[in-house]
C-alpha cells in the first residue's frame, strides 16, 4: 500500500493534456480555455456616452448656458459632424460622442425649447463619457488555462472571439464489474443489486468536463472483461469499478495484465476505497476503483477529478483543502488516510457517525469530506481540521 | 422606482413551477427532482459480507477453532445451503451471508488447509456483516424538491429508479435590442459593438437549468421588435436586453404595451441596472433588462436566476447572502441598493475601484457581488458586509 500523495503523483504521470479544439463561443461555458485569446478591438471602440443627454464642449458647461441642438448621435448611428461653440448634439447611452464635444450633460439637467437647450444646474465632476478602450484595448488578453464562466463568455463576445480554443473533452470509459449487478429498471434476482457507481461517476465526470461512456456491466469472467476493455479502446482514461480486490472473483488485475497493462501501483492507504490500481493499457490510462459505491465516488473526487483537470490543461494538483473547526469530537485515526463523510455548517464540521463505505444514503447528506491523516490523534471540538467541499 | 425586494416579489408573482416530466436517470444530474421518490428495494437486499473471508456461526468463533468449508457464496451467486455446526462457507465482499451463519472471519485471520480452516486469532467485535437494509429500506425516500448531484444519481440507481420525475427545463427566450449590435464573428462598423449580454446570460441560465433560445438581435424599430416577440412566443420567460430606458430609441416598452403587456413595474432602485421592467405578454412572463453587459449579468444573478429557481419548483427566494469582513474601506452609498463587483479572499472582501457598468473585464475578475443597502454609511476595514457569491 502506498500513501495517497504518492498515488496521486503516479496517477498524474499517467495522463497528459489533451488536444486543443476550436468551438463556437455559445457552446464554450464550462469548457477550459487552452490558450490566451486577445481582443480584436477596443471596447468601447469610440468615446461613448454613459447617459442619455446632450454632448457639448466642457468649457461651455455652466448653469444657464444655452446651446443650439444641431443633430443627434444614437447607438449605432453617430453624428457625423463636429460640435462647434454654442452647439449641442442630442446623444443616447452607448452612442459615439461627436468630434468637438468632451462633455455630456444628462437630460434631467436640461430644459429643451425647440432647437435650444439651457442647463438647469452647474455641471458635475463627471463628463459622462467612457473613453475608447475603457473596458479593454485591442490585444488585451483573457489568460489561459481558465474554466470559462458566464462573464468570461460575455467578455469573449465583446472581444469579438466567435471561436474559442479549448481543450477537447477527455473521453472516459466506465466499466462496472460483477455478476451481482443489474441496470436500474431491470428486475434484480434475489442475489443481485443495482449498479450505481457508474451512474454517480458519470454524473460527476460529465459535470467536471469529461465525455463519459458507460459501458455494459462486465461479468466475473475473463471473456466478459476482455470484451469490456475492447469496447473501451480509444478512451483517454478507462476506469474499472469493482473486481480489483484480492477475492477469487476479482479478475480485473489478471485480465488487465494479460492485455499488457503496465501496473503503476496497487492499493492506496486510504479509507474508504482501499483497492485501487493504475497503469497503462492499450494506449489508455487505466484506473481500477473499488466497487463499494461510496468508495468509488470518493475515489472519483480524490483521484479522477484531479486527473481530468490535468487532461484539461489545468495542471496537476490534488483537490484543494479548506479548514474548519470541529463541531463534534473525533476518535483517533488508524494507519490509513480517512476521507470521512461530513457536514459543514455555521457551527463547524462534523463527521457522520456511520462511515461504512456502502452507505450512499449518508453520502447524499454530506457536503464535505473531512480528511484525517494516518495515525491522527483524537480531536476535540474546536480543533481545526482539513476538508474537501463536495 | 421600487426597491429591489419589492421588484423581486413582483417578479416571483409572474412565474409558476413548470410541468413535471420523467427522464432517464443517466440524464438527471443537475435537474430538479419534483416529487419524492421511494426506494423499490432494500439495500443491501440481504445480509451481505463486508469482507472477503469465511462465514461461520459466531458462537463457534474462537482462536484455533476449526471448520470444514462446505461451499462458497460469491456476489451474485449465494450459497444455497445452510451453515451447520463446525462448518464454514467461503464468502466474498458483497455476497449474501448464508443461512445459519452470523459472523464472517476475514481471510487474513485464517489458515486454510484443503477443505479445513482454522482461526489464527480471537475474533474481533465486528461481525463483518451488513444487515439487509443497512443503507436504506424499501419505501425510503429521497425528498423533493432537490437539485440532483452525482451522489443522488448513484442513490437513485441503487434504489432502482430508472425514470426520475423532474421539472422540465423552463424555456427562456433572450432578445438583445439595438442598432449598434453585431454578432461575434461579424465585421462591426465603426459605430457598432459586439452583442455580449445574451451570450453571458445564456451561459448563466443554461447552467442554472433553463433551456435558452438566443433570438436574432432586434433593431431599433417597432417592426423588428414585433418580429422578435413573435419568435419568442411560447417561451416561459421572455427577456429583452437594452431598449428599456427612456431614450427616444428605447422602444421595447412601447412595443410590449402594443402587444398587450400588462406591466408589473418599471425601474428598480439598484446599481447597476436601473432600467428594468416586467409583466406578462402573450402568455409569457417578460422581463426587460438594461443593455449594459454588467448590468444585464448582475440582473441575471439577482432576478432571473431566482425566477428560474421558482419555475423549477425550488421556491421563491432571493439569492442567498453571506457575510464577510471588509478588507478595504467603502464610501457612503447613494439612494439605490448597490451590487458592487468584489473579490473575496482570505483577507476579507473588497470592491473593485472601477464599478462602471460597462466593464466586463472587471466582472470576470470578481467572485462576489458586495451588496450595499440604500443610504448605507461609509464602512471601515473589518466591518461585516453582505455578499452574493458568483
Q: Quick one: pLDDT at residue B282?
A: 86
Question: How far apart, in whole angstroms, are the C-alpha atoms of residue A148 and residue A159?
Answer: 15
Instruction: State whether residue B264 is helix, strand or coil.
Output: strand
State whether B38 and B55 are in the same domain.
no
Q: Do A46 and B202 touch (CB under 8 A)?
A: no
State whether A246 and A304 are in the same domain.
yes
State whether B176 and B306 are in the same domain.
yes
State whether A365 and A228 are in the same domain.
no
State whether B216 and B276 are in the same domain.
yes
User: Is A65 within 8 Å of chain B by CB?
Assistant: no
Mean pLDDT confidence for A262-286: 86
Give residue B159's domain range.
Answer: 20-43+137-167
Q: Quick one: pLDDT at residue B248?
A: 62
The grid cell for A213 is 461512456
State whether B246 and B366 are in the same domain.
no
The counts of H helices and E strands in chain B are 8, 28
State whether A203 and A268 are in the same domain.
yes
Q: Quick one: pLDDT at residue A27?
A: 97
Strand A237-241 to A171-176 pairing: parallel
Burial zone of A124 (CB within 10 Å; 0-12 exposed, 13-18 middle, 19+ buried): exposed
All residues at 6 or more sequence positions from A3 whose CB lies less than 8 Å from its CB, including other chains: A268, A269, A337, A374
From B77, B151, B156, residue closest to A191, measured CB to CB? B77
Q: Quick one: pLDDT at residue A125?
A: 87
Question: How far apart, in whole angstroms, are the C-alpha atoms of residue A309 and residue A315?
Answer: 7
Q: Do B200 and A249 touch (CB under 8 A)?
A: no
- The total number of structural domains in chain A stands at 4
Q: Do B363 and A154 touch (CB under 8 A)?
A: yes
Look up cell 473533452; give the residue. A169
Burial zone of B248 (CB within 10 Å; 0-12 exposed, 13-18 middle, 19+ buried): exposed
pLDDT in tens, chain B (390 residues): 899 999 999 999 999 999 999 999 999 999 999 999 999 999 999 999 999 999 999 999 999 999 999 999 998 899 999 999 999 999 998 999 999 999 999 999 999 999 999 999 988 889 999 999 999 999 999 999 999 999 999 999 999 999 999 999 999 999 999 989 999 999 999 999 999 999 999 999 999 999 999 999 999 899 999 999 999 999 999 999 987 555 666 788 889 889 888 888 778 999 997 768 899 998 899 999 998 999 999 999 999 999 999 999 999 999 999 999 999 999 999 999 999 999 999 999 999 999 999 999 999 999 999 999 999 999 999 999 999 999
Distances (CA, A) of B308 to A198, A249, B39, B230, B272: 30, 49, 29, 22, 21
Instruction: State whether residue B195 is helix, strand or coil.
Output: coil
Least confident of A12-16, A116-120, B74-78: B74-78
Residue that terminates a domain, selected from B263, B287, B311: B311
| pLDDT top residue among A261 and A217 | A217
Question: How far apart, in whole angstroms, are the C-alpha atoms of residue B99 and residue A87?
Answer: 100
Q: Is the pLDDT of residue A273 over 90?
A: no
All residues at 6 or more sequence positions from B181 whose CB lies less than 8 Å from its CB, including other chains: A76, B192, B193, B194, B195, B217, B242
State whether A237 and A284 are in the same domain.
yes
All residues at 6 or more sequence positions from B195 whose CB lies less than 8 Å from its CB, including other chains: A157, B176, B181, B182, B183, B184, B217
User: Is B142 within 8 Å of chain A by CB?
Assistant: yes
Question: How far apart, in whole angstroms, are the C-alpha atoms of residue A92 and residue B84?
Answer: 92
* Average pLDDT of chain A to the nearest whole number: 94
CB atoms within 10 A of CB A125: 4
Which residues of chain A have a CB within 8 Å of the CB of B44?
A: 193, 358
The grid cell for A244 is 480489483
Question: How far apart, in whole angstroms, are the C-alpha atoms of residue B79 and residue B47?
Answer: 13
Q: Where are the alpha helices (DSSP H) in chain A?
A: 4-12, 150-158, 197-207, 222-232, 252-258, 293-299, 305-311, 360-363
Residues 361-390, chain A: which have Cβ within 8 Å of B?
A: 361, 363-364, 366, 390
Which secondary-structure segment (H or E) carries B240?
Answer: strand B237-241
Q: Determine contact, residues B349/B327, Cβ cutoff 8 Å.
A: yes
Q: Quick one: pLDDT at residue B249?
A: 62
The Cα of A17 is separated from the nearest Cα of chain B by a number of Å equal to: 25
Q: Determine contact, residues B191/B257, Cβ cutoff 8 Å.
A: no
B interface test, pick of A76, A267, A272 with most B CB neighbours within 10 Å: A76
CB atoms within 10 A of CB A292: 25
Distances (CA, A) of B18 to A238, B22, B173, B236, B312: 39, 13, 16, 9, 6
CB atoms within 10 A of CB A27: 13
Burial zone of B35 (CB within 10 Å; 0-12 exposed, 13-18 middle, 19+ buried): middle
State whether B153 and B243 are in the same domain.
no
Question: How far apart, in whole angstroms, are the C-alpha atoms of residue B367 and residue A40?
Answer: 26
State whether A163 and A32 are in the same domain.
yes
- CB-hemisphere CA count at 13 Å for A3? 7
Which residues of chain A have a CB within 8 Å of the CB of B245?
A: 52, 93
Q: Determine contact, residues A164/A28, Cβ cutoff 8 Å.
A: yes
Q: Do A150 and B25 touch (CB under 8 A)?
A: no
The Cα of B34 is separated from the nearest Cα of chain A by a number of Å equal to: 17
* Residue B316 maps to a domain: no
User: Is A157 within 8 Å of chain B by CB?
Assistant: yes
Rounded to 10 deg, the angle between the A150-158 and B197-207 helix axes is 160
* Residue B266 maps to a domain: yes
The grid cell for A208 is 467536471
Of B143, B175, B186, B117, the C-alpha closest to B38 is: B143
The Cα of B158 is separated from the nearest Cα of chain A by a number of Å equal to: 5
**CATH code, domain carrying A223:** 3.40.980.10
Which residues of chain A have a CB within 8 Å of the CB of B193?
A: 43-45, 94, 158
Which residues of chain A have a CB within 8 Å of the CB of B299?
A: none
Which residues of chain A have a CB within 8 Å of the CB of B181?
A: 76
CB atoms within 10 A of CB A57: 18
Residue in chain B lying closest to A363 (CA): B151
**CATH code, domain carrying A357:** 2.40.340.10
Which secondary-structure segment (H or E) carries A368?
Answer: strand A368-372
Question: How far apart, in whole angstroms, are the C-alpha atoms of residue A73 and residue A129?
Answer: 13
State whether A380 and A338 are in the same domain.
yes
* Residue A59 maps to a domain: yes
Residues 261-280, chain A: which have Cβ within 8 Å of B?
A: none
Residue that terminates a domain, selected from A115, A148, A167: A167
* Residue A102 maps to a domain: yes
Running DSSP on this structure, what letter comes out for residue B305?
A: H
All residues at 6 or more sequence positions from A30 whose CB lies less than 8 Å from its CB, including other chains: A147, A148, A149, A209, B207
**CATH code, domain carrying A102:** 2.170.190.11
Q: How far is it between the farthest Cα atoms of chain B?
A: 96
Q: How many residues in chain A?
A: 390
**CATH code, domain carrying A31:** 3.90.105.10
Q: What is the CA radius of gyration of chain B?
A: 31
Which secondary-structure segment (H or E) carries B290?
Answer: none
* Residue B317 maps to a domain: no
Q: State the complex-level ipTM.
A: 0.94
Which secondary-structure segment (H or E) carries A33?
Answer: strand A32-33
- CB-hemisphere CA count at 13 Å for A342? 28
Instruction: State whether residue B12 is helix, strand or coil.
Output: helix
* Residue A316 maps to a domain: no
Question: How far apart, in whole angstroms, are the C-alpha atoms of residue B298 and residue B338?
Answer: 11
Which residues of chain B have a CB within 8 Å of the CB of A110?
A: none
Strand A66-73 to A37-38 pairing: unpaired
* Residue B245 maps to a domain: yes
Q: Quick one: pLDDT at residue B16?
A: 97
Residue that terminates a domain, selected from B260, B287, B311: B311
* Residue B236 maps to a domain: yes
State whether A198 and A292 are in the same domain.
yes
Amino acid at each position: 500500500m502506498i500513501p495517497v500523495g504518492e498515488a496521486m503523483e503516479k496517477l498524474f504521470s499517467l495522463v497528459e493534456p489533451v488536444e486543443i479544439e476550436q468551438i463556437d463561443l455559445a457552446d464554450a461555458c464550462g469548457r477550459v480555455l487552452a490558450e490566451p485569446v486577445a481582443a480584436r478591438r477596443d471596447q468601447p471602440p469610440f468615446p461613448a456616452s454613459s447617459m442619455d443627454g446632450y454632448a457639448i464642449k466642457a468649457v461651455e458647461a455652466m448653469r444657464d448656458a444655452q446651446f443650439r441642438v444641431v443633430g443627434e448621435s444614437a447607438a449605432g448611428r453617430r453624428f457625423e459632424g463636429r460640435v462647434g461653440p454654442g452647439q449641442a448634439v442630442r446623444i443616447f447611452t452607448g452612442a459615439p460622442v461627436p468630434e468637438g464635444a468632451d462633455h455630456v450633460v444628462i437630460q434631467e439637467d436640461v430644459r429643451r425649447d425647440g432647437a435650444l437647450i439651457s442647463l438647469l444646474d452647474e455641471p458635475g465632476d463627471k463628463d459622462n463619457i467612457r473613453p475608447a478602450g475603457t473596458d479593454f484595448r485591442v490585444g488585451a488578453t483573457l489568460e489561459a488555462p481558465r474554466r470559462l464562466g458566464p462573464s468570461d463568455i460575455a467578455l469573449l463576445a465583446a472581444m469579438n472571439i466567435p471561436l474559442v480554443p479549448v481543450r477537447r473533452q477527455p473521453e472516459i470509459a466506465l466499466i462496472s464489474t460483477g455478476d451481482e449487478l443489474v441496470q436500474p429498471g431491470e428486475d434484480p434476482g434475489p442475489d443481485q443489486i443495482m449498479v450505481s457507481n457508474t451512474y454517480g461517476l458519470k454524473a460527476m465526470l460529465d459535470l467536471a468536463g469529461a465525455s463519459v461512456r458507460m459501458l455494459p456491466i462486465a461479468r466475473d469472467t475473463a471473456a466478459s472483461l476482455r470484451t469490456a476493455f475492447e469496447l473501451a479502446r480509444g478512451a483517454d482514461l478507462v476506469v474499472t469499478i469493482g473486481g480489483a480486490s484480492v477475492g477469487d472473483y476479482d479478475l480485473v488485475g489478471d485480465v488487465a495484465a494479460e492485455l499488457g497493462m503496465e501496473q503503476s501501483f496497487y492499493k492506496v492507504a486510504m479509507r474508504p476505497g482501499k483497492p485501487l490500481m493504475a497503469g497503462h493499457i492499450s494506449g489508455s490510462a487505466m484506473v481500477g476503483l473499488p466497487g463499494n459505491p461510496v468508495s468509488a465516488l470518493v475515489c472519483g473526487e480524490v483521484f479522477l477529478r484531479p486527473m481530468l483537470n490535468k487532461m484539461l490543461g489545468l495542471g496537476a494538483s490534488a483537490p484543494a483543502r479548506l479548514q474548519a473547526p470541529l463541531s463534534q469530537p473525533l476518535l483517533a485515526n488508524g494507519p490509513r488516510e480517512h476521507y470521512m463523510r461530513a457536514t459543514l455548517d455555521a457551527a463547524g464540521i462534523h463527521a457522520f457517525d456511520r462511515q461504512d463505505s456502502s452507505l450512499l444514503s449518508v453520502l447524499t447528506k454530506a457536503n464535505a469530506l473531512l480528511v484525517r491523516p494516518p495515525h491522527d490523534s483524537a480531536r476535540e471540538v474546536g480543533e481545526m481540521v482539513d476538508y474537501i467541499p463536495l
